Amino acid sequence: MHNLKEIRKNFDLFKSLIQKRNINLDVEKIKKLDDLNRQLIQKKEGLEKEKKDISKSKNKELFEKSKDISDQLEKVIIEQKKNKKQLDEIIFNIPNIPHTDVPEGNDENDNKEIIRVGDIKKFDFTPKTHFELGEKLKMLDFDLATKTTGSRFVFIKDKLALLERALSNFMLDKHITHNGYQEISPPLIASENTMFGTGQLPKFEDDQFEIITEEGSERKFLIPTAEVILTNVVKNTIVDVKNLPLRFVASTPCFRKEAGSYGKDTKGMIRQHQFYKVEMVSIVENDKCLSELERMTDCATQILDELDLPYRKMLLCSGDMGFSAEKTYDIEVWIPSENKYREISSCSSCSTFQAVRMKTRYKNHNNETTFVGTLNGSGLAIGRTLIAVMENYQNKDGSIVIPEKLRPYMNNLEIISAN
RNA sequence: GGAGAGAUGGCUGAGCGGUUGAAAGCACCGGUCUUGAAAACCGGCAAAGGGGCAACUCUUUCCUGGGUUCGAAUCCCAGUCUCUCCGCCA
């Protein structure tokens, strides 16, 4: 979220910065609402002062007048609230401003490749898709999921389930013991305000699974990513600068409606309503965002290095970035059956955008209260890593070699083949 | 599910109708002292929003939302959360 005080300094500049996102902001409307809002605040405060003075004077003759002021005040407050609500509705839905490092562009075609790592394996047979492999092994069952639940879910069984668990543990161990992240096992349900804090609400409500709760109680949602719950650990607090940076990691299921992606990746488990993801979150002093982003991205690619999976690192263009991000790297892993790279991690700096929404601050070295910087990144998406391992490590007979680093997590199993 | 207790500043914790934005302590910052540090002593220290070039000033905020009152942290109502006891349970 943007600080109105900053926007107010130069509406046109703000408009042009947001334009990088291909959004044409009606700044005139914002200005009008803001001006009116401030007028109403002044009116309100004037009346409040009058009332306060009368009550302080303890002059009984003025008490009646105070009642009249209360009536006026009530009307002004209602008007001010209504006006502020209109203003908020606009402000809440404006995305973060792209950092100057970010290339301008419309969609993924304008993303900039930073580096390619790893050799793409040449198969002397046509590599199968992960779902062909999984179904042949009888370890991925999409039909069963359709029967019990619905589309875009999967049953993972047997050795593949073990592989999934191994991936999760392997990644967690790396981030905890080598990369300085604190392990967290968080709630998988978040309150409405928590979802607002990281930017999922109000704009992306359609993508969220909402839990039915009792009438009158706060709305609750299944987390679409652990970012939501891990970042909001510091919601509404003034963090002691001595404790920064805070680095959290969690392996959790993520739930997404995937509204608007009908027909996309319908086969296999690339795009599911539920998937595991290891998520990293950093809370930092706001001038350290970019260096932390590099560090975090390295933590993610390190996993792929160790699993010996080929990947490339992309710098997202302004049009392809998420709502809260100022700068994002996507890590894309090689998927042999598709003969292309697919996103397996996304690491973003959100500058102070989420902190403003969450009201998370710290005292900087000048003892000024200022907003923290927040970052989040997948390290990595488990479901997609499972796909990448299956496809890149497949043999002609449909068996799958287990990457060496994972074997200690799988009772030293070396290969997965049909039972 | 039943019965109680509570929610106050970065933290602990007083206040229970009128200079209370809020005692005290801790933490933090500045100073004196010291070769340096510690201790001791002195001083400072909430946030959000509005006005002003600025010095500064005004408003709001003691869980949230209503109400009573000229005036509410303090009284009333509703809700949320936390704790204790009983029951149930992975």
Q: Hey, is A250 helix, strand or coil? A: strand
- How many structural domains does chain A have? 2
Provide φ and ψ at A325, rounded to 5°: -85, 145
A393 contacts A298 by C-beta, under 8 angstroms: no
Q: Are residues A407 and A349 in the same domain?
A: yes
Residue A409 domain flag: yes
Q: Which of residues 179-218 of A touch strand B (CB under 7 A)?
A: 214, 216-218
Q: In the listed set A67, A92, A117, which residue is the last one of a domain according to the structure?
A: A92
Shortest-distance nucleotide from A37 CA to C1': B50
Please tell me whether any atom of strand B lies within 7 Å of the Cβ of A82.
no
Amino acid symbol at A408:
P
Domain that holds residue A35: 4-92
Q: Are residues A199 and A329 in the same domain?
A: yes
Please tell me whether any atom of strand B lies within 7 Å of the Cβ of A42.
yes
Over the stretch A201-249, which tens digit does the pLDDT of each residue have? Answer: 889 999 999 887 766 667 889 999 999 999 998 888 888 888 889 999 9
DSSP label at residue A245: S
| Cα–Cα distance for residue pair A409/A169, rounded to 1 Å | 8
Residue A101 domain flag: no
Q: Are residues A28 and A119 in the same domain?
A: no
Confidence of residue A413 (pLDDT cuts 50, 70, 90): very high
DSSP label at residue A233: G
Contacts of A403 (CB under 8 A, 6+ apart): A307, A308, A389, A393
Over the stretch A29-44, which tens digit does the pLDDT of each residue have? Answer: 999 999 999 999 999 9
Q: Hey, is A26 helix, strand or coil? A: coil
Strand positions, DSSP E, A231-368: 238-239, 246-255, 274-284, 311-315, 327-335, 340-349, 361-363
Over the stretch A309-328, which tens digit does the pLDDT of each residue have? Answer: 999 999 999 999 999 999 99
Residue A99 domain flag: no
Please tell me whether any atom of strand B lies within 7 Å of the Cβ of A366.
no
Please tell me whether any atom of strand B lies within 7 Å of the Cβ of A75.
no
Residue A399 domain flag: yes
Q: On chain B, which bases lie within 7 A of the protein's CB atoms?
A: 10, 18, 28-29, 46-51, 58-60, 70-71, 79-81
Q: What's this model's pTM, rounded to 2 decimal places?
A: 0.93
| Cα–Cα distance for residue pair A241/A193, rounded to 1 Å | 25
Shortest-distance nucleotide from A74 CA to C1': B66
Residue A345 domain flag: yes
Beta strands A274-284; A373-381: pairing state: antiparallel
Q: Are residues A132 and A228 in the same domain?
A: yes
Over the stretch A332-352, which tens digit does the pLDDT of each residue have? Answer: 999 999 999 999 999 999 999
Q: Are residues A112 and A69 in the same domain?
A: no
Mean pLDDT of chain A: 93
Contacts of A305 (CB under 8 A, 6+ apart): A117, A118
Q: Which of residues 332-361 of A touch strand B (CB under 7 A)?
A: 361
Among A203, A169, A167, A190, smallest CA distance to A309 is for: A167
Sheet holding A361-363, edge to edge: A238-239, A361-363, A369-371
CATH number at residue A174: 3.30.930.10
Q: Are residues A251 and A144 in the same domain?
A: yes
